[in-house]
Structure 1
Amino acid sequence: MSRARGPRRSWRKEATAVGRRLRRGRPTARRRAGGDPEILSLLAAPYGSVEEARDRLDALRREFADRGDDRAVFLTVYARTTEAVAARIERGEFEDPEWVATYLVAFANRYRQACHNYERGALSAVADPWQLAFDSAAEPDSLVAQDALLGVNAHINYDLAFALVDAGIERDRTARYADHCDVTEVLRTIVDDIQDLLASEAPGLVAVDESLGRADERLAIFTIDECRASAWRNAVGLSSRFRLRRWLARRVTGATATGAAYLLLSTRASDSVQGALGEFEAGGEDEGGQGTGVGRN
């Protein structure tokens, strides 16, 4: 394949260019000024329970999907994750199911607040990882894999540390950490389900999964383990009684998640690369030329 002409740039410069390109002219044109009232109504009130978070996240996913809004892609992944953890809470399989429920609700509310601020145009209140994820989903050439990974990155590498602090990790920290690890174990068990959900939206991903055997699943599990372990360490730092340690943990959390988002978006530095990847993802289109995705533009 011939490469697009032009001077070569380091990935850091490409990432910076991507950031400037995505942020130029924001908020994005696909949202009306002030946001969509129906979307805002689903986001305005905080979630008060696991059941409410699960139901309202799924309602939001359906609303996005009906509108062809690619924010539905991450919510498809997130809804499955919430369902799996909620089922284990209901079975009482954590050391402190009540705390895990608080943790799950706090985590969901972090996403809800970011999405609500973005939808209503309060962009100064939206963390960079979420700004980049939402802006990318609003682009007409967004990729299913990008939309999913950008959302997962913002939610785990950024939101999770703060959600753990919201839920409280100081009392009986050993038990809290054990439950945190058990949630990670739940996520390991649904990696195949997540891949199937994404493949239903981007049929070309099936070929990747089949060609890699179990290597991609092992990589996904390793990444989940590392990111969630890092989130716990950052949460411990954010809970410190020392101001410098709290400041450092906040900076590390933001820099890690934002840097990962820029890396995931590096393909946007070349229109030809982004276009080629989009064609590959759509490799399983049906006879009418339409993919099976719920949120594709």
Structure 2
Amino acid sequence: MHAASRPLTSRTLRAAAASYRRGTPVPRGPTGRVDLTDLLADPYADPADAERRLALTERRLFDAGDRRAVFLTVYGTVTSRVRRGLASDRFADPEWVGAYLTAFANRYRTALSAYECGERDRVPRAWRLAFDAALAGDTLVTQDALLGINAHVVHDLALALVDVGVHPKPARRADHDAVNAILAELVDVEQDLLAARYAPGLADLDEAGGRIDEAAAFLTLAEGRDWAWHCAVALADGGPLARRTVRWLLDRVSAGAGRLVLAPSRYGGARDRLLALERS
């Protein structure tokens, strides 16, 4: 388990412990409100296919008033920008990054497809939490975005990296980290999109609850992506016990971080005011 020792920080252990808390949103089965079958049935073939179908999924959910669109507004923007970077000199191995982008998107697709089919046992805990919360309709836009980012980065990313291979480590780690620069460029863009599409009453999402102390600190993309890389290396290099342990950590830490995002005590009285602003 030496390769995974770095992710075992006090923060990840607190998140893992939080996964055992109760008080999650009311479980939901198939929504029956939006038919996504044609968009989810087949795996994404390549980055262009992933970008196109993610955008269509977001539009269909958004038009139906389904808050699961919130995460896709963020994720679709990231996918589009990284795909454009494949044609530049940002990556040493753009073919690998393209495969990585596609495998990552397919992790989201399979989670949403299983959820839509009512196959909850096939949906990772963190995604069940995110989808249930979005459909319950009691969350802030910021919470919906963070819940999706948490499930996709803290749970899915390590598995996607294993799907496409992490070796040779130094070269591929450099390309993995190169994505962080793109993400940093998009922070303001994404927040403006969320404000424009879902919360017109919020002039500044950072100021209006965009950070959720230690939960959001863990979910900063650079830290979450570093966590995912180390977990992927442990999955690739470790023995059976190490692999089982890392998979347990991916499940529990992502679920616990999601529950920290939802904890109402972290907003205090500001949460009700923020909800009122969002819905004005």
Distance in structure 2 (CA, Å) of the matches to 1:92 and 1:51 = 18
Q: Does the 8 A contact of 1:46 with 1:109 survive in 2?
A: yes
Partner of 1:16: 21
Q: Gaps (5+ residues) in structure 1? A: 1-10, 286-297
- Cα offset for 1:115? 0.3
Partner of 1:127: 124
Structure 1 consecutive aligned stretches of length 4 or more whose deviation exceeds 3 Å: 11-15, 207-212, 219-222, 268-277
- Cα offset for 1:238? 1.2
Q: Does the 8 A contact of 1:95 with 1:179 survive in 2?
A: yes
Structure 1 residue 111 corresponds to structure 2 residue 108? yes
Measured against aligned partners, the alpha-carbon deviations of 1:75-109 in whole angstroms (never above 9, x if no partner) come to 00000000110111122420100000000000000
Q: Does the 8 A contact of 1:74 with 1:147 survive in 2?
A: yes
Calculate percent identity across the aligned residue pairs: 42
Q: 1:44-55 counterparts in 2 under 5 A?
A: 44-55=41-52
Distance in structure 2 (CA, Å) of the matches to 1:117 and 1:173 = 32
Distance in structure 1 (CA, Å) of the matches to 2:255 and 2:219 = 20
Q: Larger relative CO (CA 8 A, sep 6+): 1 or 2?
A: 2
Distance in structure 2 (CA, Å) of the matches to 1:221 and 1:258 = 13
- Cα offset for 1:275? 4.2
Structure 1 residue 146 corresponds to structure 2 residue 140? no
* Alignment: residue pair count: 260
Distance in structure 2 (CA, Å) of the matches to 1:197 and 1:149 = 15
Partner of 2:29: 27
Distance in structure 1 (CA, Å) of the matches to 2:88 and 2:57 = 26
Q: 1:78-227 counterparts in 2 under 5 A?
A: 78-170=75-167, 172-200=168-196, 201-209=198-206, 223-227=220-224
Distance in structure 2 (CA, Å) of the matches to 1:110 and 1:268 = 31
Q: Does the 8 A contact of 1:129 with 1:153 survive in 2?
A: yes
Give the 3-state SS of the residue equivalent to 2:203 in structure 1. Answer: helix
- Cα offset for 1:243? 1.0
Distance of aligned partners of 1:185 and 1:272 in 2 relative to their CA distance in 1, 3 Å threshold: closer
- Cα offset for 1:184? 1.2
Distance in structure 2 (CA, Å) of the matches to 1:183 and 1:137 = 27
- Cα offset for 1:205? 3.3
Distance in structure 1 (CA, Å) of the matches to 2:124 and 2:65 = 24
Distance in structure 2 (CA, Å) of the matches to 1:281 and 1:158 = 29
Partner of 1:66: 63
- Cα offset for 1:208? 4.9
TM-score between both structures, scaled by the size of structure 1:
0.79
Measured against aligned partners, the alpha-carbon deviations of 1:256-280 in whole angstroms (never above 9, x if no partner) come to 1111101111129999875443113
Q: Does the 8 A contact of 2:195 with 2:201 survive in 1?
A: yes
Distance of aligned partners of 1:125 and 1:206 in 2 relative to their CA distance in 1, 3 Å threshold: same
Distance in structure 2 (CA, Å) of the matches to 1:13 and 1:256 = 8
Distance in structure 2 (CA, Å) of the matches to 1:15 and 1:210 = 31
Distance of aligned partners of 1:146 and 1:222 in 2 relative to their CA distance in 1, 3 Å threshold: closer
Match of 1:267 among 259, 264, 267: 264
TM-score between both structures, scaled by the size of structure 2:
0.84
Distance of aligned partners of 1:156 and 1:211 in 2 relative to their CA distance in 1, 3 Å threshold: closer
Structure with higher Rg: it is 1
Distance in structure 2 (CA, Å) of the matches to 1:204 and 1:220 = 25
Distance in structure 2 (CA, Å) of the matches to 1:248 and 1:166 = 18
Distance of aligned partners of 1:41 and 1:14 in 2 relative to their CA distance in 1, 3 Å threshold: closer
Give the 3-state SS of the residue equivalent to 1:95 in structure 2. Answer: coil
Q: Gaps (5+ residues) in structure 2? A: 1-14
